Amino acid sequence: DAGVTQSPTHLIKTRGQQVTLRCSPKSGHDTVSWYQQALGQGPQFIFQYYEEEERQRGNFPDRFSGHQFPNYSSELNVNALLLGDSALYLCASRYSGGSSYNEQFFGPGTRLTVL
């Protein structure tokens, strides 16, 4: 199992463009969360998907949207890119079942640079 995988590794866009980032969860995981990590900061929660629906959302504008597919993989879309959207975007997956706490596993991230 390769664990959580993300693509692409790096991405350069210009202001106003749109971007799509992709995430494949760890085998057996059904819940995917996205985090934004700006330089020098800890990860900030964007939103979470479970059963193909957005279940929770952090304090991010509607320009940030997502999707989860039947195979549990997920996409993060950002429209009308701003310079401030430059960050490392992390995907994390976990299994929602069972009675005990289930660890989240993180992917390597996608480094987005907006020029």
Partner 1 sequence: AQRVTQPEKLLSVFKGAPVELKCNYSYSGSPELFWYVQYSRQRLQLLLRHISRESIKGFTADLNKGETSFHLKKPFAQEEDSAMYYCALDRGSTLGRLYFGRGTQLTVWP
Question: Contact residues for partner 1 (CB under 8 A)?
Answer: 3-4, 31, 33, 35, 40-45, 48, 50, 55-56, 58, 90, 92, 94, 96, 101-109
Report, in Å, the least distance between residue 17 CB and partner 1. Answer: 27
Report, in Å, the least distance between residue 16 CB and partner 1. Answer: 29
Name the residue nearer to partner 1 (CB basis): 70 or 97: 97
Three-state secondary-structure class, residue 83: helix
Contact indicator for 55, 45 with CB cutoff of 8 Å: no
Name the residue nearer to partner 1 (CB basis): 13 or 65: 65
Burial 22-55 (b: 16+ CB within 10 A, else e): bbbbbeebbbbbbbbeeeeeebebbbbbbeeeee
If residue 115 lies in a helix (H) or strand (E), which one and from where to where? Answer: none
Report, in Å, the least distance between residue 51 CB and partner 1. Answer: 11
Q: Which residue has the tokens 């976990």?
A: 94
Name the residue nearer to partner 1 (CB basis): 43 or 66: 43
